Structure 1
Amino acid sequence: MGEAVMTTRRQADGAIVVDVRGTLDAATVDALRQALVSTLHSDRPLTMIVDLTFVTFMDSMGVGALVAGYNAARETGTRFVLRNPSEFVHRQLRVTGLADMFGLPAAAPGPQTYTP
């Protein structure tokens, strides 16, 4: 089981950015899910960006936490954006069939922001 560090900040345009570092697995996903859902319900931003640049591992529970965030964003009318998923994270989302839902291309290009 790994460790993850999450920080939340607001950009000048009002978007909320959740920076995630480390691993998303059974030991860490509850904190991510809670951060995403509670921020969406309390702040109701127009856009939530989840920056995955420094996520080194993600299992099915990590995928589930992102789906929970995506669903909560839809409920609040917030655009949910994944930023800079690593090749590993991108592959996990492709394998689970969720890459399309998150607006990811068929192959992981260099660092970019993807919007559904």
Structure 2
Amino acid sequence: MTTRRQADGAIVIDVRGSLDAATVGALRETLLSTLTKERPVTLVVDLTYVTFMDSQGIGTLVTGHNAARETGTRFILRNPSDFVHSQLRVTGLTEMFGLPPAASPNQTYSS
């Protein structure tokens, strides 16, 4: 996982691999500390290279979304894979994250 600032000031967190019990703690810490310390106008979570996500991964994204809303930060999910998108759809969270009902390649979604 890497964090970088875009030219427009948005902070991007690039997530790779699996979002599961072994990895969600680091993502949660990164999301919450970035929101608290940096207070970005926009926080982008790039999911291009996420190959697996379980309920703990979903919960971590919800935690990040809620924390961003509390700080007035726009929370964007970028490029969720078909698998990640289907996990969010099955759990009824696509609307909360501003995702369409079906996955579209190379799209950015915000809430």
If the length of structure 2 is used for normalisation, what is the TM-score?
A: 0.99
Q: Distance in 2 between matches of 1:109 and 1:38?
A: 30
How far 1:109 moved relative to its partner? Answer: 1.1
Structure 2 counterpart of 1:14: 9
Question: Unaligned regions of 5+ residues in structure 1, if any?
Answer: 1-5
Query: Structure 1 vs Structure 2: percent identity of aligned residues?
Result: 74
Note the 1:12-91 alignment, pairs <5 A. Answer: 12-91=7-86
Q: Distance in 1 between matches of 2:107 and 2:33?
A: 26
Tell me, yes or no, if structure 1 residue 96 matches structure 2 residue 86.
no
Question: Unaligned regions of 5+ residues in structure 2, if any?
Answer: none
Coordinate RMSD, CA, aligned: 0.5
What secondary structure is seen at the aligned counterpart in 2 of 1:98? coil
Count of residues in Structure 1 that have an aligned counterpart in Structure 2:
111
If the length of structure 1 is used for normalisation, what is the TM-score?
A: 0.94
